[in-house]
């Protein structure tokens, strides 16, 4: 129960070239919403959204935060 095998893929960020990991669960989430899989690492995605937020940004972020807390923990100082 404490270990779940999840298939995923390693993606190279378009912006900074860093590799990041997209789990199958995350990929499915993007598929379900009819979105392309992310091509940028969480850090670059965040930076882009800040510069150019989509209209439903708040809704997307709220959902993404709930689903991928690890993405959003990065860079947050506590
Ligand atoms: Zn990046």
Per residue in 40-55, pLDDT (tens digit) is 998 998 888 777 766 6
Centre of ligand 1 from the C-alpha of residue 46, in Å: 9
Centre of ligand 1 from the C-alpha of residue 23, in Å: 17
Task: Indicate whether 11 pLDDT > 90.
Answer: yes
Claim: this prediction has a pTM higher than 0.75? no
Q: Are 18 and 12 in contact (CB under 8 A)?
A: yes
Q: Which run of H or of E encompasses 43?
A: helix 42-51
Centre of ligand 1 from the C-alpha of residue 10, in Å: 13
Letter string b/e over residues 46-69, b meaning 16 or more CB atoms within 10 A of that residue's CB:
eeeeeeeeeeeeeeeeeebeeebe
Structure confidence at residue 76 (pLDDT): 54
Length reported for the chain:
78
């Amino acid at each position: 129960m404490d270990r779940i095998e999840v298939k995923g893929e390693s993606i190279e960020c378009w912006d900074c070239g860093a590799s990041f990991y997209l789990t199958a669960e995350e990929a499915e989430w993007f598929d379900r919403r009819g979105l392309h899989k992310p091509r940028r690492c969480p850090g670059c995605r965040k930076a882009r959204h800040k510069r150019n937020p989509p209209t439903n940004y708040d809704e997307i972020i709220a959902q993404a935060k709930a689903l991928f807390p690890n993405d959003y923990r990065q860079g947050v100082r506590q």
